[in-house]
Amino acid sequence: MDRWSHSSRRHGPSPTKPLPSTPSFKTLLSATRRGFDARVLSVNWLAFIGGLMTSARWLTARRRVLGAVIGLAIVHELMVMVPDLWSDPFLWLALGAAVGTAFHELGHMVAAVIVSIPVRLVVVGVGPVLWRCRFRETWFEFRLLPLAGFVAHYPVVNSRWYRWAFFLLGGVLGNVALVCLLAGLDAGGFAPEPADDTFGPVVLVQLFMIVGNLVPFRAKVGGARVPTDGLRLLRLLWRSQDDAAPFRAAYATRLRNYSNGDLQFTMTSDSWRILYNMAGFDSATDENSRRLFREALLRVLKSGDLLREERLVVLDDLVTYGVVSSDPAVRCHLDEWSLQALALGPELPTLLGSRGAVLIELGRYEAGKALLEPLVATYRGESFDSLMTQAFLARAEHALGNPEVARRLADAARSDANALEAAPRIMAMLSRMEADVLA
């Protein structure tokens, strides 16, 4: 039942712009057969595919994948009908940008794995998502235009500076690896002839990406100004304080609420995932996001490396959300989760309070009241535990036919709520209490 305050920043939807008109399929096919300039044809074919993929009829995931397959088939036919297209520098520049972006993000990911920085999301490309999958706790997204990307990590609060430096340099090291691979193919005689017109533009793009990422400045991507790897590296080297110390302290304080004594712990990759997913779960506003964060927390619970206190934190957070929101997807698990938590910490007041709230939520008012009544004197008021205890006791007393006691407890709960920072869960809990007590 114990809560942990946090803040989150949301970005509103970006303004939409009208899509430019795209050539029809028949026009492009006719032009291709007549043998128009290869560069013009490739641009028009890409415009046609891009317009098709971003139209309203193609915004579902399966149709995006199908559109990508159709696009590859069209490109293949285009190569057959226009043999000289492979020798066009424009094509190789575009290919170099696409492959270079993939290698750049792969370099960041490999570097993160080497230095034990847990990766949350790897994105290659911009625009509509063509394909999305999850491998363990890392999501991968491939988007329509492979011209940019990023690698997002879970909150990491105890890594050394040189690990972060290696992670930031991993992108350009990925581009260097691609240049070395192309050099090896050229030396082995596997490069398309002439190599200067094929691999040359690809290498040129890699050099541009290496220099562009190492120069410290802010690049505009999707309407937002994003710092380059070079600027982030410069900030890392000049930073004199431990910015992650407050997060470690907050996490340690949260765990001590579920501990019997002095707690000595070292944050692991599971600890980082708990930090991220609990914050996301608490602030999510739509059902799909809540489901993803909830599933991630449940996967963390299955890990055998969690501290007892970390298991209790996750279970109690899930239970607290369930009794406050009455989410049907969570409500069916409340009894199971609260019993698991109570078995791990039967002496902890916050878990007794959560169990009592669950019993009242499930309609077992006498049993819930028996657990919550002794806790009223335990809390000094003006805390989330005190608020939740009195709000659910008010609901129980009203259901048991004691309206005067219910109103008194409801007034005490409102007093506690006024002393706390306004939060969606507090408002939701008060609304449900008011609906029950004043009904």
21: left (phi over 0), alpha (psi -120 to 50) or beta: beta
Cross-strand pairs, 140: 122, 133
Longest dimension (CA), the chain: 91
Residue 314 lies in a domain: yes
Cross-strand pairs, 224: 221
Are 157 and 140 found together in one domain? yes
- The answer to whether residues 207 and 97 touch, using CB atoms and an 8 Å cutoff, is no
The structural domain count of the chain equals: 3
CB atoms within 10 A of CB 163: 16
Is 131 in a helix, a strand, or coil?
A: strand
Are 303 and 276 found together in one domain? yes
2: left (phi over 0), alpha (psi -120 to 50) or beta: beta
Domain end, chosen from 42, 64, 86, is at: 86
Are 46 and 79 found together in one domain? yes
Look up the domain containing 221 and give its range. Answer: 89-238
In whole angstroms, give the CA distance from residue 6 to residue 28.
Answer: 54
Is 125 in a helix, a strand, or coil?
A: strand
Residue 5 lies in a domain: no
Residue 2 lies in a domain: no
Residue 15 lies in a domain: no
Residue 371 lies in a domain: yes
Preceding amide of 194 cis, omega within 30: yes
Are 176 and 188 found together in one domain? yes
Instruction: Report, in angstroms and rounded to the nearest whole number, the Rg of the chain calculated over CA atoms.
Output: 28
**What's 398's domain CATH number?**
1.25.40.10
Are 343 and 393 found together in one domain? yes
Residue 359 lies in a domain: yes
- The answer to whether residues 357 and 396 touch, using CB atoms and an 8 Å cutoff, is no
The amino acid present at 222, given as its one-letter code, is: G
pLDDT of residue 78: 52
Averaged over successive runs of 10 residues, the pLDDT of the chain (439 residues) comes to: 42 35 42 39 43 45 58 58 58 87 95 91 90 90 88 78 91 95 86 71 91 87 80 83 74 86 76 85 79 89 84 93 87 94 92 95 94 86 84 94 92 88 82 82
Q: Determine whether 145 is exposed, middle or buried from the number of CB atoms within 10 Å of its CB (0-12, 13-18, 19+).
A: middle
DSSP code string of 326-390: --HHHHTTHHHHHHHHHHH-TT-HHHHHHHHHHHHHTT-HHHHHHHHHHHHTTS-SSSHHHHHHH
In whole angstroms, give the CA distance from residue 123 to residue 204.
Answer: 23
The amino acid present at 305, given as its one-letter code, is: D
pTM of the model: 0.66
In whole angstroms, give the CA distance from residue 117 to residue 307.
Answer: 20
Take residue 44 and report the two structure tokens written for it: 């028009």
Question: Going by C-beta distance under 8 Å and a sequence separation of 6 or more, which residues neighbour residue 351?
Answer: 1, 258, 312, 316, 338, 341, 342, 345
Are 68 and 97 found together in one domain? no
Q: How many residues does the chain have?
A: 439
Residue 11 lies in a domain: no
Q: Which of 154, 135, 160 is nearest to 272 (CA)?
A: 154
Are 380 and 426 found together in one domain? yes
In whole angstroms, give the CA distance from residue 386 to residue 413.
Answer: 8
Residue 254 lies in a domain: no
Are 200 and 233 found together in one domain? yes
Domain end, chosen from 86, 115, 136, is at: 86
Is 159 in a helix, a strand, or coil?
A: coil
Q: What is the pLDDT of residues 27-61, one digit of tens each?
A: 433 443 344 343 343 444 344 444 444 444 444 55
Query: How many Cα atoms sit within 13 Å of 400 on the Cβ side?
Result: 19
Are 144 and 132 found together in one domain? yes
Are 134 and 75 found together in one domain? no
Question: Going by C-beta distance under 8 Å and a sequence separation of 6 or more, which residues neighbour residue 242?
Answer: none
pLDDT of residue 380: 67
Are 163 and 300 found together in one domain? no
Domain end, chosen from 208, 238, 268, is at: 238
Are 287 and 431 found together in one domain? yes
